[in-house]
């Protein structure tokens, strides 16, 4: 018995570094994907370069990377379609930002209220469930007829598009609240408002942030589509007018700019999540 036990234990020589192990993870579990993504991006660029270099695709359909880069610099310097690049970008950013702020400041409180209150849920459920499966572009013409071709119709359209995911996720956040947590707070003497402030809101925060992220994604696609149809400024408009002149390289510049901003937003949201809900997924 004793001998067996001794034979099983290894010599504890401090120089003899132990082999560090951990449980086999399932899914990604925080594995690093950055280098892989970077390599993929390089590969795609190389493919693009080769396809244009060997004229596998006519230049009208697919400009070379160099052309796009040159065109980008030209647009930065001279602007495009009657406005500077910054004017296009800031027009788009202004629309999406103001719509996001409005959608969040309406959608989060309303979603929380709908998760907590019979009347709020009863009243607002029907209109939201009715409108949110509609593609925003289906009611864009209505927005233009009602609100004109200016900024208001676009911001209202974007707000509507972003509102639903934010509102639904806030509701889901309340629904996922464990009753024991509520009871614990009540038995510690929480008032209704304190319960809301210290328990309901933080518990729903991870879901709300996810909803915001989805909302902003929906916002980008709706924004560009709306600008394609009705605008005189904005990245979407820039792409649209370039396509009229078959300026594929400018179209690529526009797409690249949208992709860069969408990526930056996504990254920003991830930072926000890490800052606001570092405890997400822990107990």
Partner 1 sequence: MLQVRNASVFFSARDGRVVHALDRASLDIDANSIVVALGASGCGKSTLLNAIAGFLPLSEGSITLDGQPVANPGADRGVVFQKDTLLPWSSVADNVALGLRFAGVPARERRERAEELLGLVGLEGFADAFPHELSGGMRQRVGIARALATDPKILLMDEPFGALDSLTREQMQELLIDVWARTGKRIFFITHSIEEALFLGTTVVVMSPRPGRIVARFDLDFVRRFAAERDVRAILSAPEFADLYDEIRSLVHRPHAEADSRRAVLQ
Q: What is the rounded distance in angstroms from the CA atom of residue 244 to the CA atom of residue 215?
A: 30
Distance in angstroms (rounded) separating the CA atoms of residues 230 and 222: 12
Per-residue exposure over 234-260, b if at least 16 CB sit within 10 Å of its own CB, e if not: bbbbbbbbbeeeebbbbbbbbeebbee
List of residues contacting partner 1 (CB under 8 A) = 178, 180-181, 183-191, 194, 198-199, 202, 277-279, 282-283
Least distance from C-beta 231 to partner 1, angstroms? Answer: 42
**CB of residue 207 vs partner 1: minimum separation in angstroms?**
14
Cβ 195 to partner 1, closest distance in Å?
9
For the bound state, the minimum distance from the C-beta of residue 204 to partner 1, rounded and expressed in Å, comes to 12
240 strand-pairing partners: none
Residue 185 or 229: which CB sits closer to partner 1? 185
Q: Of 126 and 283, which has the nearer Cβ to partner 1? A: 283
- Which C-beta is closer to partner 1: that of 66 or that of 183? 183
Residue 200 or 235: the one with the smaller Cβ distance to partner 1 is: 200
Distance of alpha carbon 119 from the chain centroid: 31
Alpha carbon distance 279, 205 (integer Å): 11
């Amino acid at each position: 018995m004793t001998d067996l036990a001794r034979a099983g234990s290894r010599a504890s020589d401090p120089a003899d570094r132990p082999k560090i192990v951990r449980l086999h993870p399932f899914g990604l579990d925080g594995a690093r994907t950055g280098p892989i993504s970077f390599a993929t991006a390089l590969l795609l660029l190389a493919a693009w370069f080769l396809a244009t270099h060997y004229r596998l695709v006519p230049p009208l359909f697919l400009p070379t990377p160099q052309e796009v880069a040159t065109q980008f610099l030209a647009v930065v310097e001279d602007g495009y379609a009657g406005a500077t690049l910054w004017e296009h970008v800031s027009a788009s950013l202004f629309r999406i930002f103001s719509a996001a702020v409005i959608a969040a400041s309406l959608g989060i409180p309303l979603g929380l209220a709908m998760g907590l209150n019979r009347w709020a849920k009863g009243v607002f459920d029907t209109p939201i469930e009715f409108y949110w499966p509609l593609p925003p572009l289906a009611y864009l013409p209505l927005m233009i007829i009602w609100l004109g071709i200016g900024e208001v119709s676009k911001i209202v359209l974007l707000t509507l598009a972003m509102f639903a995911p934010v509102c639904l996720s806030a509701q889901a956040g309340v629904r996922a609240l464990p009753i024991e947590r509520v009871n614990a707070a009540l038995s510690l003497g929480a008032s209704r408002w304190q319960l809301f402030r210290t328990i309901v809101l933080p518990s729903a925060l991870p879901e709300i942030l996810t909803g915001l992220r989805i909302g902003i994604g929906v916002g980008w696609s709706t924004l560009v589509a709306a600008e394609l149809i009705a605008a005189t400024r904005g990245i979407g408009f820039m792409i649209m007018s370039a396509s009229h002149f078959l300026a594929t390289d400018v179209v690529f510049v526009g797409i690249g700019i949208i992709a860069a901003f969408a990526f930056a937003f996504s990254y920003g949201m991830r930072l926000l999540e890490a800052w606001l809900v570092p405890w997400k997924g822990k107990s």
